Amino acid sequence: MTDSHPSLMLLVTGANGFVGKAVLHCLAELRPGDDRCTLPVVVSAVSRRPPALPIPRVRYFLVGDLSASIDWAPVLQGVDVLVHAAARVHVMADTATDPLAEFRRVNVQATLHLARKSALEGVKRFVFISSIGVNGQYTSPSSPFTELNEVHPHNAYALSKHEAELGLRQIAADTGMEVVIIRPPLVYGPNAPGNFGTLMRAVQRGLPLALALVRNQRSLVALDNLVDFIVTCATHPKAANQTFLVSDGQDLSTPELIHKMAEAAGVPPRLLPVPVWALGAGARLLGKEDAVQRLCGNLQVDISKARKLLGWTPPISVDEGLRRAAKGFRRETAV
């Protein structure tokens, strides 16, 4: 991306979140001559509340909860690239009376408000962190998702991300602001929230897991790989107005993942040979079908587009990503 300024100003939303904070750390460490950015960078961040540990060289703006009424003008002055990582995320036990309306309020209305204001203030590129859930919940064996597949958002969260994508593409067409959409699968790393964190803690505690007979393939993405890809998409000329799927480039079955988790944590895996049909039957009785689908079903993504168009390769392996994740969870347990 061409830029007449002597530096590149980047703004990241969701500064205290799992992904946003990691992106900020990476951007704050960029120096001229890095393959991903040849210019000096100036980094700003948006968050709801002050960070517990502010990152050196990052300027913070506190805006409260994302909404369509925020005055973004003071925050966006001089910004060249905006990475939008803030979102209302999918939760397993949503207490909202109307979850879809809440997802739309934050993930669609607030996002598009920010994007319109960004275009008005001269932001050149808007990088949107979406979700593989826009593609769907599962894939057929050996038929991974690609960017060309029809979308099948399977829950309120994924639908809100899809609607935001549609609105962003229209804003790009209307204003000329470049939009880049990234759809990651499950993101894992040190102290990762959600399903990965639950599974890692179970493995580290030696809990028996009835998953030895599962024969699936799933794509994951290490936090460090996702961050590297986000930074690449923020600066690479060929990323403009593109949608990308991203992963580690190595798919695993659930038993393989658990074995690798256990190895990274230095504990023996404890897998029990329970038939998959029995897991499904138990899940239906308990109303946990989605949880079993995530553990037993296929969800693969093809990252050929990222490799070919951007020349991007995941910088760390699955084994290294899990080693870093396990180290973080050991620190958490020690505390």
SS3 270: coil
CB 259 within 8 A of CB 269: yes
DSSP 107: I
SS3 113: helix
Catalytic residue status for 60:
no
Nearest Cα to Cα of residue 194 among 243, 131, 106 = 131
Burial of 303: CB neighbours in 10 Å, binned 0-12, 13-18, 19+ = buried
SS3 179: strand
CB 111 within 8 A of CB 179: no
From the list 60, 138, 157, 188, the catalytic residue is 157
Token couple for 226? 């996702």
CB 43 within 8 A of CB 59: yes
| 9 sits in which H/E element | strand 8-13
Residues carrying an active site annotation: 157
